[in-house]
Amino acid sequence: MKDLLSIEHLARTDIRKILSEAAAMKRARGRHRTKPLAGQSWALIFSKSSTRTRVSFEVGIHELGGRPMFLSAADIQLGRGEPIKDTARVLGRMVHGAVFRTFAQADVEEFARYASIPTINALTDEEHPCQILADIFTIEEKLGSISGKVVTFIGDGACNVANSWIFAAAKLGFELRIAAPRPFQPPASLLQRAAGKVICTEDLRAAARGADVLYTDVWVSMGKEAESARRAKALAKYQINTALVKLARPGALVMHCLPAYRGKEIDEVTFEANAQTIFDQAENRLHAQKAILQWAVG
Ligand code: CP
Ligand code: NVA
Clarify whether residues 107 and 157 are in a common domain: no
Residues 263 and 146 in one domain: yes
For ligand 2, say whether the CB of 159 is within 6 Å of any of its atoms: yes
Q: Is residue 254 part of a domain?
A: yes
* Domain presence at residue 239: yes
Tell whether 6 is covered by a domain: no
Spatial distance between the Cα atoms of 22 and 206, rounded to a whole number of angstroms: 33
Rg of the chain taking only CA atoms, in angstroms: 19
Q: Which atom of ligand 2 is nearest to the CA of 52?
A: 5
Residues 20 and 33 both lie in one domain: yes
2 found inside a domain: no
Compute the average pLDDT of residues 87-95: 98
Does this model's pTM top 0.85? My answer is yes
- Give pLDDT tens digits for 46-88: 999 999 999 999 999 999 999 999 999 999 999 999 999 999 9
Question: Residue 136: which domain range?
Answer: 130-282
Is the beta carbon of 218 within 6 A of some atom in ligand 2? yes
Same domain, 155 and 122: no
Q: Is residue 73 domain-shared with residue 108, that is, in the same domain?
A: yes
How many angstroms does the Cα of residue 60 sit away from the middle of ligand 1?
A: 15
Instruction: Tell me, yes or no, whether 139 and 247 share the same domain.
Output: yes
Judge if 50 and 184 occupy the same domain: no
Are 137 and 51 in the same domain? no
pLDDT tens digits, residue range 243-287?
Answer: 999 999 999 999 999 999 999 999 999 999 999 999 999 999 999
CA 86 to CA 190: how far, in whole Å? 31
Specify if 4 maps to a domain.
no
Mean pLDDT of the chain: 98
Structural domain includes residue 1: no
Please state the φ and ψ torsions of residue 220, each to the nearest 5 degrees.
-120, 100
Evaluate whether residue 7 is within a structural domain: no
- Determine if ligand 2 sits within 6 Å of the CB of residue 176: no
Provide the CATH number for the domain around residue 19: 3.40.50.1370
Structural domains in the chain (count): 2
Nearest CA to ligand 2 atom 1: 221
Encode pLDDT of 103-122 as tens digits.
Answer: 999 999 999 999 999 999 99
Active site residues: 101, 128, 131, 217, 257, 285
Q: What angle do CA 180, 182, 187 make, to 5 degrees?
A: 100
